[in-house]
Structure 1
């Protein structure tokens, strides 16, 4: 049996730290009013893009649900698209401080994952999820502490359990 080698410690180079801070052209480590305002401007711009992106995804979900209502044969094909859109919204909601939006998107994604060919009632529950996300975005609901928000998630869970496919 071979004798194990002695552990070697390798000192990490400072290059990564220098790239992160970028001492030549990057942000200084001290936050001046100018630097702070530049950072706030980037955050505000990102938040505006977030709202537009989520709204676009919700509109696409509505288009998909409407198409499925009008054509029962297309129902199976909308599930993948809506699931991907819900996944995107879930991540975006968490990133930009909309935990309720994330919870609603996760609930929708989890519900869709269980479906094979959605019936009318299941399409309605999908639509309710989309409508709830619209309201959260339009009202700027950022917290999760309000009793009303908990009730919304609980009641949505009840609706999901009532129309769930039998296993």
Structure 2
């Protein structure tokens, strides 16, 4: 069962992880022995593995929240707020653990959902594609800045935010462009996500908690 107050929380005390690996005393010359370097590398690898596991759990929560937003018209804005908060956590930790693309894609997701209350069907579909793209990066363990393909996907999400949240252009063309970019990222021909129609019905969260508008 997912708890809306705890689900998706990632690794805490990031400063502690840094302090375990690096001496931050100013002006001190740190010369690493082979033994110390090996210990530091083990800490980094372990921390990255912990992040990957936590990120996968968060992405499951994001996908369920996105699906629930399709059916819950009363609490829809609360689901988007939840997605936005989880995306912000992913954004803050992706680069720290060697996943700058997670930070980049999560920033797009945060921007798309920020202050969102009642989106169009196409914008909702693009948010689902954004979550799918994050999942692809984590599942395939694509660390570093990525290739032209990954950056093209990031640009598609940025354009979607600029045009659909700020300027409201042709939503049909924008959805197709984003969907095509994510399909290429995943190496698939079919759409990466099929968005359900937004329904004006209520739905309870798996834990029995119903999100309602304040």
Same fold (TM over 0.5): yes
CA spacing shift, 1:84–1:130, aligned 2, 3 Å: same
Rounded to whole Å, the distance in 2 between the matches of 1:133 and 1:97 is 14
Show the counterpart of 1:102.
103
Q: What is the Cα-based RMSD across aligned positions, in Å?
A: 2.5
Show the counterpart of 2:212.
none
Aligned 8 A contact 1:98 1:142 in 2 = yes
Unpaired stretches in structure 1, ≥5 consecutive residues: 1-19, 23-28
Of the two, which has the highest radius of gyration?
A: 1
Q: Which has the higher contact order (CA 8 A, sep 6+)?
A: 2
TM-score, normalized by length of structure 1? 0.74
Q: Which runs of 4+ in 1 moved over 3 A?
A: 157-167
Unpaired stretches in structure 2, ≥5 consecutive residues: 1-22, 169-214
Show the counterpart of 1:52.
53
Rounded to whole Å, the distance in 2 between the matches of 1:145 and 1:138 is 14
Rounded to whole Å, the distance in 1 between the matches of 2:166 and 2:74 is 18
Aligned 8 A contact 1:58 1:134 in 2 = yes
The structure that is helix-richer by fraction is: 1
Show the counterpart of 1:17.
none
Q: Give aligned pairs, total.
A: 143
TM-score, normalized by length of structure 2? 0.59
- Asked if 1:37 is matched to 2:44, the reply is no
Alpha-carbon deviation of 1:166? 6.1
